[in-house]
Amino acid sequence: MALARGRRNESPFNYWPGFVDALSTLLLAVIFLLSVFVVVQFYLSREVSGKDKALEELNAKIAQLSEMLSLEKLSSLGLEDQLSQVRAGLASAESERDRIKGLYDGLAASGSDAASRASELGRALESEKQVTSRALAQVEILNQQINALRRQLAALEAALEASEKRDKESQSRIADLGQRLNVALAKRVQELARYRSEFFGRLRAILGNRPDVRIVGDRFVFQSEVFFDTGQAQLLPDGVTELDKIAAAIVELDKQIPAEIAWVLRVDGHTDVRPISSPQFKSNWDLSAARAISVVQYLVSRGVPPQRLVAAGFGEFQPLDPATTEDAYRRNRRIELKLTER
């Protein structure tokens, strides 16, 4: 009993220090684990970031490899085309080789005949070489000729340019001379018109107011009956008298007109449309020409210079009146005198 009371009076066992030690140990373990976790987390984050960068570099390399692969595909297509061409060339070469081999085999099989054929081929080849050399020589000659022709063409072009220049100058001179000539001709025409007017005035005064003589435009018109019988080209006495007056007026006119004025008196014979029935004249054309010639010949006999006279026959083809009456026939049968330029 005393022992039991003694133990109850002793202090009980103290667990707290052990608990504190255990708790401290646990806390240290937890802190250690947290430190380890932080360190591991740090290294893991670095590793992950490094992996991301590596992944980006890997993606870039993959893109570069893809591009290179595309280029390689294009190159492979080009190489395949080239390979196809090479294969085609190889096939052609093989066929040519086979052909040559066949020829060679044929030559080898034919023995001496092959040698003769080879000799013949050699001669043909030599002949071809000679032909080629001659062709080349001809080509060289043609080139020289072409160069010479080009030089001639250049010279001709230069001469043509000079000729065109001279032609332009000549054209300008011709135009100037033509203008001056036109002015001179206009003056001559005016002078001839003045002399024609004087001549007509003188004929008018000489012939008087005869009903069978009239002026039509710039011509004196005589009815054929003044000079000829019907269907004849022989001058009548009354016609000769009238022609004497006309001849005298022409001779006087020739003295007045300057020599540089080229004038002529044209004598025109005309008939009516009815055909002539005469053994002497085959047609009205013959009759009209014969009458004009008779008048001209008589004027020459009366002193008119022949170079100032022209005889022309018009037959029935220049009528004054197209009617088919006797009066129209009479008017169309006529002799016309026209003072004009030569």
> What is the number of alpha carbons within 13 Å of residue 294 lying toward its C-beta?
18
pLDDT in tens, 276-327: 988 999 999 999 999 999 999 999 999 999 999 999 999 999 999 999 999 9
pLDDT in tens, 235-251: 999 999 999 999 998 89
Least confident window among 213-222, 305-314, 331-340: 213-222
- % of the chain surpassing 70 pLDDT: 77
> pTM of the full predicted structure?
0.47
- Which of 288, 292, 300 has its CA nearest to residue 266? 292
pLDDT value at residue 181: 66
pLDDT band at 3 (very low <50, low <70, confident <90, very high): very low
CA dihedral 175, 177, 181, 182 (to 10 degrees): 20
- Which of 233, 230, 223, 248 has its CA nearest to residue 302? 248
Does an H or E element contain 242, and which? helix 237-256
Sheet holding 263-270, edge to edge: 213-216, 219-223, 334-341, 263-270, 309-315
- CB neighbourhood size of 291 (10 A): 28
Does an H or E element contain 235, and which? none
CATH number for 190-341: choose from 3.90.950.10, 3.40.50.2000, 3.30.460.10, 3.30.1330.60.
3.30.1330.60
47 vs 294, which has greater pLDDT? Answer: 294
Q: At what angle do helices 16-110 and 112-207 cross, to 10 degrees?
A: 80
User: For the chain, what are the domain ranges?
Assistant: 25-91, 190-341
312 vs 64, which has greater pLDDT? Answer: 312
pLDDT in tens, 142-176: 788 888 878 888 887 888 888 778 878 778 777 77
